[in-house]
Chain A
Amino acid sequence: MAKDYIIDIQHLSKSFGGVKVLDDINFYVRRGEFVTLLGPSGCGKTTLLRQIAGFIAPDEGKILLEGKDISGIPPYERPLNTVFQCYALFPHLDVYDNIAFGLKLQKVPPKETEVRVKKMLKMVSMTDYEDRSVDSLSGGQQQRVAIARALVNYPKVLLLDEPLAALDLKMRKDMQMELKEIHRKMGITFIYVTHDQEEALTLSDTIVVLNEGKIQQIGTPTDIYNEPCNSFVADFIGDSTILNGTMICDRKVEFMGHEFDCVDEGFGENVPVDVVVRPEDVYIMNHLEGSQFSGKVKSCIFKGVHYEMFVETDTGYELMVQDYNAFEPGSEVGLLIRPNDIQVMHKERTCNTFKARVSDAEHIEMLGRHWECKVPEGCAEGDELVAEVDFDKVELLDHQDDGRLAGEVHFLLYKGDHYHLTILTDDGDHIWVDTNDIWDKGDLVGIDIAFGAIKLSRSNG
């Protein structure tokens, strides 16, 4: 085992009140690395950080620091320090005493303490502020003191919990640069938690993308951006159009009704895939020569550096395009996507799959409800079956009471000509739905599945 990992997290799981917040988390951090845990709110990233800091004990799994399991060690004995989101500076102490807090506890001689505190104040550009009370500081200054207070102890790893979330945009950008500079100067390993993908891409050596308690992808910012491994990552990081496609054969993929050359291999033949196209990778031109397909500009918005346009393709798909030139809405354009810029991903699923149990000749039990459907011949009551329901066969209703099941829109993805929704039912099951109707995240919906939409098969295949 490589011993150069300063932090090695193995099979970490944590539940709160029966809900799995973290599910089998595995990753490592190299010495001196800047690692970002990135994900939407509620994805478990802060819980993960608090477990590394020692405020929450994991249910299962190990946290190794330089090869030693620290899961059982209290926070005050871990050689790690945290920068809290709310800063948590001690209001009864001045700036100097806040920063010296850790050193005094370690009984560092006063002379050395003074030297180290002054050095830190200089590092965060807060010299001459040592006698100020923390209440008199601005948000940005408090942030600097919080960083100095943690770093002055020379921790093996610095943990940062959304440290810039409370600052305004301009200040956040400045602090990002300063953090990177501090990381470079001190050579200390940073583990950084944020929900801001741009911040993650700017700062990190490695990004760990989390969603719903699971690691989605680990990679460098370029990897994560250019080669997202699933539609969640592609959607969460940067702008993108995610489309259903079919891998015809190696290096050939079909989507939006057209065939494209690509660089991906090994998917097999005629395999359904997800295709990601970044808006800046679509070439747009006012003539059709040299283009792969045509389209009509629907809207054009000036975004500062570039224009953002939505183009309806000749086959009826909506594609986001970014270009330095503006194309008038209504104009006919030619479009081109280069093989290198097409990212093909395995589909996580091609239809809903549920466990079902036969209740009688015409009914099954599935998702905790009874459903009428055609039970295959030779199935007896109580048999375990696998039920498959296509995404577009699930009906969503405006009122929760109208459906057989009630749920909430959990995640939505626009796929060029329809929406792909993840519905979380009140019982905690996931149902995936393709629909042309517009829903928002958090909408409460009733769910129904029509007779005949449920395809049953034996669980052993």
Chain B
Amino acid sequence: MVKRSTWSLPYFIFMVVFVVLPLLLIVLYAFQDGAGHFTLSNITRFFTDSDSLQTFALSIEVALENTLICILLGYPAAWILSNRKLNRSAVTVMLFIMPMWINALMRTLATAELFNMLGFTLGKGTLLFGMVYDYIPFMIYPIYNILMKMDSSYAEAAEDLGATPWKVFWKVTVPLSMPGVMSGVLMVFMPTVSTFAISEFLTNNKIKLFGTIIQENINSSMWNYGAALAFIMLIIIGLTSLMGDNKQAEAEGGLI
């Protein structure tokens, strides 16, 4: 009789080969020069290169803007979807989630074509549009989820204690749905920092994001610098996810 723990072996091997080894390789490459000697120059190069730093700052800025727009548009959408008086059918929810079924690259290409056809100049505006379009379902869904599960007696209790519907929303509904918002933020913010396809297609590479320069470096065989940049990005993303890492978000946040 084979021990049950051995059943997990294939998954373990998969994780090692496709997750752990690549990560180790990134770290290894990041701290080596072209000849394979240990060096910190890749890291210091990033922090001394104003172009890289500017791109990095712009990436963070775009990611923050994208996240903010997603919250501002996504929260009301999730609230309306979860409100049984305003939305009685599951179809509307599906319509919001459906874009997630289609490959993001396809959607982005289609959006770019649409902008070309309409004669819009591609730039930061179109970039943000594409990002919001791609990522907003990831914001709506966890918030919708938590609002749906929220016990209506909290709102009733607040109303009973003298809160107008407006106050109920701000003092009870919003605070209680924060874990959902946190999940949404993690799922929108982290991928937007590293995205490059959207900026490539929707700005014709006019705007370069952090993901873009990593891709360019690796494409032009500058493995070590590319790995260093990827390593820095990983650290940043790790830090943001630690920020949002609380037990409540895990328990109630839906997707993460």
Contacts and interface: CB of A to CB of B under 8 A. Distances in A.
A236 interface: no
A91 B247 CA distance: 14
A162 to B, nearest CB: 13
A82 B151 contact: no
A90 B172 contact: yes
Interface string B147-158: 000010110111
Contacts of A296: none
Interface stretch (B86-94, B160-168, B196-204): B160-168
Contacts of A55: 156, 159
Contacts of B43: none
Contacts of A138: none
Interface string B171-205: 11001101000000000000000000000000000
Contact of B159 (A74, A89, A90, A106): A74
B153 A153 contact: no
Interface in A44-84: 53, 55, 74-77, 80-82, 84
A118 interface: no
Interface residues of A, number: 23
B175 A153 contact: no
A90 B157 contact: yes
A75 to B, nearest CB: 5
Nearest to B156: A55
B161 A84 contact: no
A255 to B, nearest CB: 48
Contact of A88 (B154, B163, B165): B154
Given A90-B172, A91-B176, A92-B175, A76 B163 contact: yes
A84 B157 contact: yes
Interface string B76-92: 00000000000000000
A106 B162 contact: yes
Chain B interface category by residue count:
10 to 19
Nearest to B153: A88
A101 interface: yes
A86 B157 CA distance: 10
Nearest to B167: A105
B88 to A, nearest CB: 15
Contact of A153 (B154, B157, B161, B176): B161
Nearest to B160: A82
Nearest to A99: B161
B115 to A, nearest CB: 42
A81 B160 contact: yes
Contacts of A153: 161-162
A458 to B, nearest CB: 50
A102 interface: yes
A86 B161 CA distance: 16
A102 B153 contact: no
A124 B161 CA distance: 18
A88 B157 contact: yes
B163 A90 contact: no
Given A75-B159, A92-B176, A86 B167 contact: no
A149 interface: yes
A149 B163 CA distance: 14
Contacts of B164: 76
Interface of B: 151, 153-154, 156-165, 167, 171-172, 175-176, 178
17 contacts: A55-B159, A74-B159, A75-B160, A76-B159, A76-B161, A76-B164, A77-B162, A88-B157, A90-B154, A90-B172, A92-B178, A101-B158, A101-B163, A101-B171, A105-B161, A105-B163, A150-B160
Given A76-B162, A88-B157, A150-B161, 17 more contacts: A74-B159, A76-B159, A76-B163, A84-B157, A86-B151, A86-B153, A88-B153, A89-B157, A90-B157, A90-B158, A90-B176, A101-B161, A101-B171, A105-B161, A149-B161, A153-B161, A153-B162
Instruction: Identify the 4 closest CB pairs spanning chains A and B, nearest first.
Output: A102-B161, A88-B157, A88-B153, A92-B175
